[in-house]
A and B are shown apart, each in its own frame.
Chain A
Amino acid sequence: GAVVSQHPSWVICKSGTSVKIECRSLDFQATTMFWYRQFPKQSLMLMATSNEGSKATYEQGVEKDKFLINHASLTLSTLTVTSAHPEDSSFYICSASWVRNSYNSPLHFGNGTRLTVT
């Protein structure tokens, strides 16, 4: 149980284009999903917290207009990297907790999306 599916697994795009990444909870409802960014051999940096039916909460230093997050349903959150540039190339991972209102719940991660901007 608690499977999180992320799509696509990898994407190559040209500078200036936008890329959408989907994160789905397959067998549970995720009222909250989290988007992380990870550089090679580095830690996971939280970008934003995605709340179903409301605006996402962004971490300090993360551009809201560049990384658009939508959480339209209890099983789907999307991250759109707008006007991508080479410096946006990274590994993006979503995660979700499946237990509502419990800060003890573990995170279940998607497989991640490796974005390369040329």
Chain B
Amino acid sequence: GQQVMQIPQYQHVQEGEDFTTYCNSSTTLSNIQWYKQRPGGHPVFLIQLVKSGEVKKQKRLTFQFGEAKKNSSLHITATQTTDVGTYFCAGRLGGTSYGKLTFGQGTILTVHP
């Protein structure tokens, strides 16, 4: 079954509002990656977090990896219509084979202008 849980499933915001999606695992993750999938498109790699407590920023996007390496979050400040899409976290569970990622359910973000 699904071992990487992501919430919320849907998020509707007005342009300019902030947005956060959360990812949780019942087991420790070796690392976690975040992907964005535009409607009708394919997932595109955004970032990877490896270290406990790591925080990385990409312009308006802030990514965090929990101290226990079991949770992560993606926060978008002042959303824009170009942020529309589905955001997936993907974690490598402890003991999994090389390259195998387990994806969260994804958060579908809608931004109203």
What residues make up the interface of A, taking CB atoms closer than 8 Å to B? 32, 34, 41-46, 49, 57, 93, 95, 97, 101-112
What is the interface of chain B, defined by CB distance below 8 A to chain A? 2, 30-31, 33, 35, 41-45, 48, 50, 86, 88, 90, 92, 97-106, 108
> Interface of chain B, helix or strand or loop or mixed?
strand
B42 lies within 8 A of A111 (CB): yes
Contact A34 B99 (CB under 8 A): yes
Please pick, from A101, A103, A108, the residue contacting B45 in the complex, using a CB distance under 8 A. Answer: A108
A105→B99 contact, CB < 8 A: yes
A-B contact pairs, 12 of them (CB 8 A): A43-B88, A43-B103, A43-B105, A43-B106, A46-B101, A49-B100, A93-B42, A103-B30, A105-B99, A107-B35, A111-B42, A112-B42
Partner of A104, one of B43, B50, B90, B102: B50
